[in-house]
A = this chain, B = another copy of it.
C-alpha cells in the first residue's frame, strides 16, 4: 500500500468487487453500474458463517425491521473475514438532510439540504460529487452505529451467554464485545489519496495546504485540525520576526544570541521585555479572534454552519434503566442527571485532584532528591556520587511517564463511568480531564521555576531545552519510527502486484495500525501555544523554533495520516469544539503569566530600584497592569466580531428563509 505513491504509473489496476454480490436495491434511482465500497467491517477469524450472514442481513434489512438499510458485500475471497458496506443514493440524501448539512443550491448559495427540494441542488445525481468521500463514510458509520436490537434475541452462531442481545442494546458494540467485529473503518480511495498526497506533502507546495481536498477526503475534524495548524503557523510569522528583531537587533539584546550562552545573561532589556510581553498578550487575543472568523468562513464553505445536532440518539455505550425520555417520548435507557453530577463531583473531581497532587508531589520529590544528591556529591565527590546526581531526574522522568499512562486510562474510564448521554458531553468531560493533567504536568516545573524560585535564567534554559528536545523527540516518534516500520519491517503482503482484486486490496488496509486520533496532536499544539504565550517574554526566539517545528509538523502529520494508518472516521463539524475553549483559557492565563514574568525580570527590578520605587509599589503597579490588561483583552475579544460580515449575512439569510418557509407552510 504505502509504496504506491512512489510508483510512476498513474493508473491503479485493480479488479473491482463482483458487482452482483452487492445487496440488490429496489428503488430505481439508487440502481447504479458500480457500487462504491465505503466502509469495511473487519471480523475476527473465529466468526461462524452463520453469524456473518445474520450480520449482513441485518445491515441490508429495512429500518422498519430494525436494519440499517445499507448495501453490503461479503467480499470476494475465501477467508470471509470482511464485510464491505456502502449506501444507496436515497439513503445518503436523507441522511444529509438529517445531519443538517448545507449544500450548493442552484443559485450558488450554500443552504441546508432538503430532500423534498433535492432536484434544485447542484450535483445531486452524482453522489461522489454531491457528498464528499468522508461524508459518505460518516453517514454509513452513523447508520451502523444506530443498529439496535428490536427485542431480546440470541446472535446466531455464538453459543454462550455473550451471544445474547438485550432489547435496545447497541448491536455493533455488542459484536465488538463478543469478539465478532475487530474493527469498523472507512476505506482509502488509493487514486484520490495519491492525488491528495501530491498536493499536500510531496514536494513543491511548501506554503499552504489543499484544505478543501483534505476536507473532502478526510472529513471535518481532520480538516479543522490542519486548517488550525496552517493558520497557527502563519500567525507565528510576526512573532518570529519580533523575536529575531529583539534578539539580534535590539540594543542590549545581543547578549542572548548564542543558544549555549543562555544561562549567563539576564535576558532581553527592559523595553524589549515589555514589548514582548505586551505583544504576546495582544497576539494571543488577536490570534484566537481571527481564528474564530476563519473558522466560521470555513464552516460556511464546508456546509456545516447549520448542523442539526438535534435530539440525537444516546451514545452507543450509554446505559441506564429503560424508560420513556420525557423530551422525545422515545423508549430508551435513562440515567438521572443528578446521579451523573454526583459521580462527577464526588468521584471524578477528587480523583483528578489526587493525580494533580501526585504530579506536584513528584516535582517536590525531585527537587528534594536533587538537593540530597548534590549535598552527597559535595561531601563525597566520587564516581558513584556523580552517577547519583542523575538519579533524581531519571526517577522523576520514569515517575512522570508512568503517572501519565495510568492517568490516561483512569481519565477514560472515569468519563465512561460518568455515563454521558451525548457524545459531545463525553468529549468535553474527557478532554477537560486530560487537559488539566497535561497542563499541570508540563507547566508545573516551569511555573515553579518562574514564580517560586524566580530564577529566570533557569527558566530560559529549561524552555530552550524543551523547545528543541521535545520537538525532535515528537517528530522522531511520530513520523520517523512509523515510517521505518512501514517501509522496512512490515508485512511483505503489501508489496503484492497491483492488479490484485479490489477485495484483497481493501482487506490489505487491515494491516495498517488504527489512527491514534487528533487528541495528541492538539495537545502538542496546545503545549506549544503555552510555551509561546506564557513564557516567550523570557526567550523571544520561541516563536522561531515553533515556526520551524510547525513547517515540518504539517508535512509529518499529513504523511502520517495518509500513509501510515487506517483512514479514520471524521464527523462534519463547525469548529474545533472544546479545543477552542482550551486555547482561549490559555490566552487568559498568559496575560497573568506575562505580567508577573515582567515584574520578576531582574532588569525591571534593577530599573525600579534605581528609580527608587519600593518593591511593594512595583507589586501594586503590576496588579493594576494585570487587571487593566485582562480588561483590555476582554474588550478586544468583544469588539472583534466572531464571524466575518459576509458569513453573518449568509447565516441570517438561511435563518430568515427557514423562518419564511415555516410561515408559508402554516398558511
Q: Which residues of A contact B (CB under 8 A)?
A: 114-116, 308, 310-311, 326-328, 337, 345, 592, 615-616, 619-620, 623, 627, 639, 645, 649, 652-653, 655-656, 659, 662, 665-666
Give A411 Cβ to nearest chain B Cβ, in Å: 19
User: Which 6 pairs of residues, A with B, have the shortest CB-CB distance?
Assistant: A327-B652, A619-B619, A326-B649, A327-B653, A327-B656, A665-B665
Which residue of chain B is the closest to A665 with respect to CB atoms?
A: B665
Inter-subunit contact A656/B328 (CB<8 Å): yes
Inter-subunit contact A310/B616 (CB<8 Å): no
Inter-subunit contact A115/B666 (CB<8 Å): yes
Contacts of A645 in B (CB 8 A): 337
Report 19 cross-chain contacts, Cβ distance below 8 Å, ordered by A residue.
A116-B666, A308-B659, A310-B659, A311-B652, A311-B656, A326-B649, A326-B653, A327-B652, A327-B653, A327-B656, A328-B656, A345-B639, A592-B627, A616-B616, A616-B619, A619-B619, A619-B620, A623-B623, A665-B665
Whole-angstrom CA separation of A639 from B645 in the bound complex: 34
Given contacts A345-B639, A615-B616, 17 further A-B contacts (CB under 8 A): A114-B666, A115-B666, A116-B666, A308-B659, A311-B652, A311-B659, A327-B649, A327-B653, A327-B656, A328-B656, A337-B645, A592-B627, A616-B619, A619-B619, A619-B623, A623-B623, A665-B665
Quick one: copies of this chain in the complex? 2
Contacts of A656 in B (CB 8 A): 311, 327-328
Whole-angstrom CA separation of A544 from B655 in the bound complex: 50
Whole-angstrom CA separation of A615 from B665 in the bound complex: 72
Contacts of A311 in B (CB 8 A): 652, 655-656, 659
Whole-angstrom CA separation of A197 from B114 in the bound complex: 55
Whole-angstrom CA separation of A114 from B667 in the bound complex: 11
Which residue of chain B is the closest to A337 with respect to CB atoms?
A: B645
Whole-angstrom CA separation of A214 from B345 in the bound complex: 40
Contacts of A655 in B (CB 8 A): 311
Contacts of A326 in B (CB 8 A): 649, 653
Interface of A, secondary structure class, is: helix
Q: Which of A115, A619, A627, A659 has the most CB of B within 10 A?
A: A619
Contacts of A666 in B (CB 8 A): 114-116
Contacts of A649 in B (CB 8 A): 326-327
Contacts of A114 in B (CB 8 A): 666
Which residue of chain B is the closest to A344 with respect to CB atoms?
A: B639
Contacts of A665 in B (CB 8 A): 665
Whole-angstrom CA separation of A561 from B114 in the bound complex: 52
Whole-angstrom CA separation of A627 from B116 in the bound complex: 55
Give A436 Cβ to nearest chain B Cβ, in Å: 12
Which residue of chain B is the closest to A645 with respect to CB atoms?
A: B337
Whole-angstrom CA separation of A421 from B615 in the bound complex: 52
Which residue of chain B is the closest to A658 with respect to CB atoms?
A: B662
Whole-angstrom CA separation of A114 from B620 in the bound complex: 60
Contacts of A652 in B (CB 8 A): 311, 327
Contacts of A662 in B (CB 8 A): 662
Whole-angstrom CA separation of A567 from B659 in the bound complex: 34
Give A398 Cβ to nearest chain B Cβ, in Å: 32
Contacts of A619 in B (CB 8 A): 616, 619-620, 623
Give A471 Cβ to nearest chain B Cβ, in Å: 31
Which residue of chain B is the closest to A622 with respect to CB atoms?
A: B623
Contacts of A639 in B (CB 8 A): 345
Give A545 Cβ to nearest chain B Cβ, in Å: 29
Contacts of A615 in B (CB 8 A): 616
Q: Which of A115, A308, A326, A327 has the most CB of B within 10 A?
A: A327
Give A332 Cβ to nearest chain B Cβ, in Å: 13
Whole-angstrom CA separation of A649 from B645 in the bound complex: 35
Whole-angstrom CA separation of A205 from B410 in the bound complex: 57
Contacts of A345 in B (CB 8 A): 639
Give A467 Cβ to nearest chain B Cβ, in Å: 27
Give A479 Cβ to nearest chain B Cβ, in Å: 38
Whole-angstrom CA separation of A645 from B639 in the bound complex: 34
Which residue of chain B is the closest to A646 with respect to CB atoms?
A: B326
Give A81 Cβ to nearest chain B Cβ, in Å: 39
Give A639 Cβ to nearest chain B Cβ, in Å: 8
Whole-angstrom CA separation of A639 from B342 in the bound complex: 12
Give A667 Cβ to nearest chain B Cβ, in Å: 9
Contacts of A310 in B (CB 8 A): 659
Whole-angstrom CA separation of A623 from B595 in the bound complex: 12
Which residue of chain B is the closest to A311 with respect to CB atoms?
A: B656
Whole-angstrom CA separation of A662 from B653 in the bound complex: 19
Give A195 Cβ to nearest chain B Cβ, in Å: 37
Whole-angstrom CA separation of A551 from B458 in the bound complex: 61
Whole-angstrom CA separation of A666 from B112 in the bound complex: 14
Contacts of A616 in B (CB 8 A): 615-616, 619
Whole-angstrom CA separation of A470 from B116 in the bound complex: 66
Give A418 Cβ to nearest chain B Cβ, in Å: 14
Contacts of A327 in B (CB 8 A): 649, 652-653, 656
Give A121 Cβ to nearest chain B Cβ, in Å: 15
Give A533 Cβ to nearest chain B Cβ, in Å: 17
Whole-angstrom CA separation of A506 from B546 in the bound complex: 76
Which residue of chain B is the closest to A660 with respect to CB atoms?
A: B328
Give A116 Cβ to nearest chain B Cβ, in Å: 6
Whole-angstrom CA separation of A616 from B616 in the bound complex: 6
Contacts of A116 in B (CB 8 A): 666
Give A459 Cβ to nearest chain B Cβ, in Å: 18
Which residue of chain B is the closest to A338 with respect to CB atoms?
A: B645
Give A223 Cβ to nearest chain B Cβ, in Å: 28
Whole-angstrom CA separation of A653 from B311 in the bound complex: 10
Give A109 Cβ to nearest chain B Cβ, in Å: 12
Which residue of chain B is the closest to A652 with respect to CB atoms?
A: B327
Whole-angstrom CA separation of A308 from B652 in the bound complex: 14
Which residue of chain B is the closest to A116 with respect to CB atoms?
A: B666
Give A634 Cβ to nearest chain B Cβ, in Å: 10
Whole-angstrom CA separation of A116 from B663 in the bound complex: 11
Whole-angstrom CA separation of A328 from B653 in the bound complex: 7
Which residue of chain B is the closest to A328 with respect to CB atoms?
A: B656
Give A119 Cβ to nearest chain B Cβ, in Å: 15
Whole-angstrom CA separation of A459 from B656 in the bound complex: 55
